[in-house]
Structure 1
Amino acid sequence: MTLLNPDADEHSAELARARRRRNRAIFTLLSGIVAALVLFEGFFVLRDSQAPKLVTALFAMIWGGGGMAILYLIANQLVEFTPSQWQRRLTPVVFVLPAIAFVVYFLALPAARTFIASLFDRNGTNFVGLANYITVFTEPFMLTTFRNNVLWIVFGATFTIAFGLLVAALADRSKFENLAKAIIFMPMAISLVGAGVIWRFIYAVRDPSDVQIGLLNAIVVALGGEPQAWIAMLQPWNNLFLIVIVVWMQTGYAMVLFSAAIKSVPTDIIEAARVDGAGEFKIFFSIIIPSIMGTIVTVSATVIIFTLKIFDVVLVMTGGQYGTDVIATQFYNQYFVNRNFGLGSAIAIVLLLTVIPVMVYNLRQFNKRETL
């Protein structure tokens, strides 16, 4: 007669479960390695593919999105095989580490390589130290470039914020609010290159004896004036005509955010102010503006960053000619046109250093509002 040992059976079952768990962990790990290798090989398949562009695009979407999803699922499954105290520590890493890796590989490393390249001459062979940075801050063409960027910030950002706030406040009181906002927001659907092409026709100029195809000059001629080369005029007026394009496009963006912020202002405060005899201007500047100051700061920082990096409009409209160069177009011209890799890299680093403080300030303001 065989005596049953419950403890031995339970121990054997526990060993069997541990063995199966270990086998699943090994299988999951091997699956992750295979998926990573397949995802990596996909880069070369896409690079060397001779298939139609539509097929390549569909493959890239399926391969990229599906591959990353599979890797996340496998990584999450591996974390579940670890003890519970380790799961709480490793789970955030699984989801954050890939993003950090992408930021490091696609942003941090290129920035470091660009900085190293900025310390060499135009061919990248001889070390010149900070000579390229001295050129950036001393050459007349660069000083003109910095002046233009200041114009973009002062006039572009200021008028975008002012018009966006004005339209948001006025549309909020109109029965045609949705229609007005749709019309103002419509330019946001156009790319910067497309907007540049549209405004080239508006600013186009022809000889007075010829037909004026430019809308603005057609109006001027109809009123008895002389046609003008608006974007080739003496500075800084041509820069201001380019700034109009971005104000036209970005006002809708500012308007949408300001409108949402204004609607969040408690109506009882506004009604109480009206009962106390406060006028609409008093209410707007004493109640509404302070209440939405966080949104104003955020939108202002975003628009300033946008104007600092402006590139497409200037390149399409003038190519940086007639004294309209900005930092981004100057970098493009020096690096890709003049093939001066050292100076072009230095300009890129200056642009990066210019944008970073605004981004840091914007993030700090966002964090302050989150803690309220």
Structure 2
Amino acid sequence: MPFAKGKQRIPWLVLISILVPALNIAGHTCIFIYLRDASLNPIVYGILAILWGVVGVYAIYWSFNWVIEQYGDKWKRRIQPYLFVGPCILLLGWLLLIPTLRTLYMSFFNASSTKFVGLANYGQVFVNRLLLTALRNNLLWVVFGATACIVLGLLIAVLADRSSFEKLAKAIVFMPMAISFVAAGVIWKFIYYYQPGDEQVGLLNAIVVAMGGQPQAWTSMTQPWNNLFLILILIWMQTGFAMVIFSAALKGMPEDILEAARADGAGEIRIFFRIIIPYISTTILSVTTTIIVFTLKIFDVVMVMTGGQYDTEVVATQFYRQFFMYQNFGYGSTLAIVLLIAVTPVILFNLRQFRKQGGF
């Protein structure tokens, strides 16, 4: 009997709407306590955790959906979206929103979080020499790293689409995306490796010596060259991402537009700038903002390659040092908020582009 027509069912629906979530919470709490306190073989722990994760999540959604099915169509349509989106929102709030608010709160206190200092930490941001260097380096990563990724990704996408070995070329360019930034940092650390003397085991220095040049300490050179060598790693990794997105956008271009332009006598360069770029401009903006976010948050490559030494510090590595190494919780939290403020406008712009394209 539908909820709207059977008022006598209201107590029953209210009861099961309270009882089913309560049973889920109680049951999963008991399982958690058992797994926490029991002394089991690590393999058994792993198997039970996987089973609990898969079966438990299925049981939660199945039981909640069963409750909603007891309602009439009107209320079912209203409640079901919250059933499937609600847990995600709660999880994101728990993992992202609450830590963000706590970090913001800590940024107004001193190093030990015992004394309120107001905006003093934020004022310190703009007079600290190391942080000014970090901000400058982040700007270098955005200007050179993001720009190179976009330009190379677009050029490779256009050229590969017209070549006979398109799949092979795209696979080679996209391959670095399969590894993490930490792994990429380790690989390039061996490429840039420098040791005094004639024998060089680093790939780049071995090539330089073989050609009659002098080996260089590439990552400890004077500014800004050492940062540019680090930015090259980002370009190596993210160009494949840009290429794939641009290639998908180019595949969606109507071929008759290009054929009409060629029939009118337009050259390939003019077609590229006057037709292709305007047609995929929204895709270019989306990819650009996404890569800018990557560059603003860059941490792994710098930490693995130099640890922030030799004036290669960025905001994320400076935050890590202040918060986790120096235990300066107030200033470290301030750097995290500064980084969040820098990234937020780019993310909002990206979300607006998605909305215009019908993504929301």
Q: TM-score range by the shorter chain?
A: over 0.9
In structure 2, the CA distance between the partners of 1:164 and 1:56, relative to structure 1 (3 Å rule), is farther
How much has 1:47 moved relative to structure 2? 5.2
Aligned position for 2:73: 84
AA partner of residue 154 (structure 1) = V
Contact persistence 1:208–1:226 (CA under 8 A): no
- Aligned partner (choices 210, 216, 223) of residue 235 of structure 1: 223
Matched, 1:64 2:53: yes
What is the distance in 2 between the residues matched to 1:76 and 1:194? 43
Are the counterparts in 1 of residues 13 and 71 from structure 2 also a CA contact under 8 Å? no
- Equivalent residues of 2:20, 2:64 under 8 A apart: no
Amino acid at match of 2:327: R
The residue number in structure 2 matching 1:117 is 106
Equivalent residue for 1:7? none
Identity %: 54
Alpha-carbon offset, residue 76 of structure 1: 1.6
| Secondary structure at 1:138 match in 2 | coil
What is the CA–CA distance in structure 2 between the aligned matches of 1:232 and 1:76, rounded to whole Å? 59
Which residue among 247, 251, 263 is the counterpart of 1:263?
251
Match of 2:121 among 129, 132, 135: 132
Aligned in 2, Cα 1:216/1:42: closer, same or farther, shift over 3 Å? farther
**Structure 2 residue 136 is the aligned partner of structure 1 residue 147:** yes
Of 295, 303, 307, which residue of structure 2 is paired with 1:319?
A: 307
Count of equivalent residues: 356
Alignment of 1:94 onto 2:89: no
* Cα drift, residue 103 of structure 1: 1.7
Report the 3-state secondary structure (helix = DSSP H, G, I; strand = E; otherwise coil) of the residue aligned with 1:325: coil
Is 2:26 the counterpart of 1:37? yes
Matches of 1:279 and 1:44, distance apart in 2? 70
Report the 3-state secondary structure (helix = DSSP H, G, I; strand = E; otherwise coil) of the residue aligned with 2:358.
Answer: helix
Among 185, 190, 199, the alignment partner of 1:196 is 185
Contact 1:311 1:328 in 2 (8 A): yes
Where 1:213 maps in the other structure, the secondary structure is coil
Residues 279 and 193 of structure 1: CA distance in aligned 2, closer, same or farther (over 3 Å):
same
Q: Which runs of 4+ in 1 moved over 4 A?
A: 21-29, 41-55
- 1:12 corresponds to: none
* Residues 256 and 53 (structure 1), Cα distance of their counterparts in 2 relative to 1, 3 Å cut: farther
Q: Which amino acid aligns with 1:180?
A: A
- The answer as to whether partners of 1:49 and 1:56 remain within 8 angstroms in 2 is no
Distance in 2, matches of 1:49 and 1:312, equals 37
Q: Deviations over 1:293-333 (max 9, x none)?
A: 11111111110001111111111111111111111111111
Q: What's the CA shift string for 1:225-248, capped at 9, x where partnerless?
A: 111110011111111100000100
State the match for 1:276 in structure 2: 264
Change (3 A) 1:274 1:251: same
Q: Structure 1 pair 196/333, CA: closer, same or farther in 2 (3 Å)? A: same
Map 1:164-183 onto structure 2 (within 5 A).
164-183=153-172
Displacement of 1:89 in angstroms is: 1.6
Q: 1:332 — aligned with what?
A: 320
**How far did 1:361 drift?**
0.3
- Residue 370 of structure 1 aligns to a residue whose secondary structure is coil
**Alpha-carbon spacing, 1:106–1:244, altered in 2? closer, same or farther (3 Å):** same
Asked if 1:105 is matched to 2:94, the reply is: yes
Aligned partner of 2:281 in structure 1 is: 293
Kept in 2: contact 1:202–1:216 (CA 8 A): yes
Q: What does the per-residue CA deviation read over 1:43-98, in whole Å, with 9 as the maximum and x for residues that have no partner?
A: 45555666555544443333223322221221222122234332222122222221
Q: CA contact under 8 A between 2:145 and 2:231: conserved in structure 1? A: yes
Find the aligned partners of 2:21 and 2:359 in 1 and give their Cα distance: 39
Distance 2:353 2:254 in 1: 22
Q: TM-score, normalised by structure 2?
A: 0.92
Which residue number corresponds to residue 247 of structure 1? 235
| Inter-partner Cα distance in structure 1 for 2:256 and 2:65 | 49
Partner of 1:3: none
Partner AA of 1:230 in structure 2: W
Matching of residue 351 in structure 1 with residue 339 in structure 2: yes
TM-score (norm 1): 0.89
Give the letter aligned to residue 152 of structure 1.
W
Structure whose CA Rg is larger:
1
